[in-house]
Amino acid sequence: EKIAANGDSGTPFILEYPESEQASIYKELASSVVREVAKIQYSQANNRPTVHYDEGVNMLKFSFGSGGQNKDTAGAVEKEDISEETVVSLDSIPSAELRRECKCAACVEELTGRQILKPEDIPDSVKPMKMSPTGNYALSVDWSDGHKSLYPYKQIRALLEERG
């Protein structure tokens, strides 16, 4: 009843009764909204790429855009979903090259950073069987050779810049 009366009088209930249960709920809701907006801003700032595997040429195609692409749950996009207006850059890397760049403990010695994986042991025919984003920071790939890799987007960008 007081909430309606305050609404009619032009004074918000929570301003007049800042210690009320309703004010507490309102503050909690407002904090949740602020956290969610911050997550969205952080996600856009990190610019998580979309990924498309082109089986015809056995390459992974990364598009770093404005975030307006139509993504499925794996973060992939189809070619027709990529428009010039939303894509800032579209880069490709051969599947085998990305697989050879795995930095997991089975591929790189953790303490010394020495490469354990021999690049020549990875066939050019290796391909991703499953790809999915891991949080807002990395791409998880299950490879046809049975290996599982995790590539931070920062690493992928650096690889693409080296190729650039």
82 neighbors 54 (Cβ within 8 angstroms):
no
pLDDT of residue 63: 87
**Per residue, what are the HEC states of 59-110?**
EEEEEEECCCCCCCCCCECCHHHCCCCCEEEEEEEEHHHHHHCCCCCCCECC
Q: What is the pLDDT of residues 61-100, one digit of tens each?
A: 998 765 433 333 344 433 333 333 433 456 899 999 999 9
Q: What is the pLDDT of residues 11-62, one digit of tens each?
A: 888 888 899 998 899 899 999 999 888 877 766 555 678 899 999 999 999 9
pLDDT of residue 80: 35
Of 110, 79, 108, 97, residue with least CA distance to 143: 97
pLDDT of residue 81: 39
